């Protein structure tokens, strides 16, 4: 049965016309016992068939920007290229791989969050789209600096493909026993939305959020190990108990839709993780934090992550609206700078995400360090006045509180 070229436009694709012109015998001579089809468009052509797949692989290697080397079939393309073809041909459906569903979801949430924050601040974010050409993927960094409300705000997404070296695989086996420690490398995928907001007003708290999905893949693109991670936490310079209660209550409600154990477990984990160990104090008043979460069906956990991310705007917007225009003194602004110094110390010394990002080949340093404030301060042997609001904050940071 001759190879059939199936396209609503026939051979109107310039790429296929060039292929037919330059390699006419390929188009005339293959036969295959299976039906083969070519789905052409402005960016790529794919072949499905037996003999046809081999020959069309040569053509797509020559004429497709998705092909970096000559290949014998689409399955020989790098996984990020195959995922790009899937998204273009089929879109995102319930049967799509989890990695593509997570990517689609965080892109939509980034737009929603940025729009809400622009409404609060009155100034637009700078949108910086970047590609990770070394091994696939990229991201969108949305950054606002020196705004009306936010001194610095960043809402970033990253979608990264790459290979884990053997040393990383061995380390990850502590939590994921199905990883094969004998292989030299494994394909991996990581996608996440990260956000840090540093308001100008010292009465308004800094907030951090990150939700992510990670998986390793076999050569055919099928998922091997997978897990979700993330969380959110609030870092005030001046503590308002009602803000802390509201923030924690909103997160707790999102957690309890899925598992009553999640909030107390992840709240404790957050208090322990966001600890500036060399200072003996927490970075802020906590929230939730979790990692390597694979204790349920992936669709269930995807729903959990969605509910947590959906809870962000209700948890924070009411707080920033109340605090953004409050009066403050130069001394209170100076205290905010000292607290930001602690924030910088944690992120650069203790944060695993920052360390992982900076040590990933081809890392985009500007996006990784987006979390740092525009300004911060340090004073030698500074100690707040006894009985002051600053001293009370330190007491809470040294002994975390159960807010709800």
Q: Where are the alpha helices (DSSP H) in 192-261?
A: 241-256
What are residue 205's phi and psi, to 5 degrees? Answer: -80, 150
Asked if residue 45 belongs to a domain, the reply is no
Asked if residue 65 belongs to a domain, the reply is no
Asked if residue 34 belongs to a domain, the reply is no
Token pair 């906590």 is found at 286
Asked if residue 310 belongs to a domain, the reply is yes
Determine contact, residues 306/233, Cβ cutoff 8 Å: no
Asked if residue 365 belongs to a domain, the reply is yes
Q: Read off the pTM.
A: 0.78
Q: Collect the ranges in the chain with pLDDT lower than 50.
A: 1-73
Please choose, from the candidates 219, 207, 212, 304, the residue with its C-alpha nearest in 3D space to the C-alpha of residue 253: 304
Supply the residues annotated as catalytic.
208
Which pLDDT belongs to residue 276? 95
User: Based on C-alpha coordinates, what's the Rg of the chain?
Assistant: 25
Asked if residue 186 belongs to a domain, the reply is yes
Task: Supply the CATH number for residue 350's domain.
Answer: 3.40.1500.10
Asked if residue 17 belongs to a domain, the reply is no
User: DSSP code of 349?
Assistant: H
Domain that holds residue 271: 98-398
Query: Rounded to an integer, what distance in angstroms lies between the CA atom of residue 402 and that of residue 390?
Result: 20
Query: Rounded to an integer, what distance in angstroms lies between the CA atom of residue 215 and that of residue 164?
Result: 11
Asked if residue 9 belongs to a domain, the reply is no
Indicate the number of domains in the chain: 1
């Amino acid at each position: 049965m001759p190879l059939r070229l199936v396209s609503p436009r026939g051979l109107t694709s310039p790429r296929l016309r060039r292929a037919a012109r330059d390699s006419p015998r390929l188009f005339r001579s293959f036969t295959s016992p299976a039906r083969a089809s070519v789905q052409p468009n402005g960016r790529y052509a794919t072949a499905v068939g037996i003999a046809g797949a081999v020959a069309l692989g040569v053509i797509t290697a020559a004429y497709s920007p998705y092909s970096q080397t000559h290949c014998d079939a689409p399955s020989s393309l790098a996984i990020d290229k195959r995922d790009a073809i899937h998204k273009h041909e089929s879109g995102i459906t319930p049967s799509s791989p989890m990695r593509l569903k997570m990517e689609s979801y965080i892109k939509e949430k980034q737009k929603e969050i940025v729009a809400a924050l622009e409404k609060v601040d009155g100034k637009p974010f700078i949108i910086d789209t970047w590609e990770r050409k070394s091994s696939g993927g990229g991201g969108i960094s949305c950054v606002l600096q020196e705004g009306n409300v936010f001194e610095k705000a960043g809402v970033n997404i990253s979608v990264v493909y790459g290979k884990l070296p053997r040393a990383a695989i061995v380390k990850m086996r502590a939590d994921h026993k199905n990883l094969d420690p004998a292989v030299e490398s494994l394909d991996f995928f990581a996608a996440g939305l990260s956000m840090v907001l540093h308001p100008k007003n010292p009465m308004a708290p800094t907030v951090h959020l990150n939700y992510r999905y990670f998986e390793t893949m076999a050569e055919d693109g099928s998922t091997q190990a997978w897990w979700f991670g993330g969380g959110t936490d609030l870092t005030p310079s001046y503590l308002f108990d009602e803000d802390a209660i509201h923030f924690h209550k909103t997160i707790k409600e999102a957690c309890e839709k899925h598992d009553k154990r999640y909030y107390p477990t992840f709240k404790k984990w957050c208090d322990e993780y966001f600890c500036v160990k060399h200072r003996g104090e927490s970075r802020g008043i906590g929230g939730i934090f979790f990692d390597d979460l694979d204790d349920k069906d992936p669709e269930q956990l995807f729903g959990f992550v969605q509910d947590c991310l959906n809870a962000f705007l209700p948890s924070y917007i009411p707080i920033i609206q109340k605090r953004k225009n409050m009066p403050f003194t130069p001394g209170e602004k100076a205290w905010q700078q000292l607290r930001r110094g602690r924030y910088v110390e944690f992120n650069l010394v203790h944060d695993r995400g920052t360390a992982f990002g900076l040590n990933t080949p081809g890392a985009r340093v500007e996006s990784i360090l987006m979390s740092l404030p525009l300004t911060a301060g340090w004073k030698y042997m500074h100690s707040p006045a006894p009985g002051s609001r600053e001293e009370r904050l330190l007491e809470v940071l040294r002994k975390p509180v159960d807010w709800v």
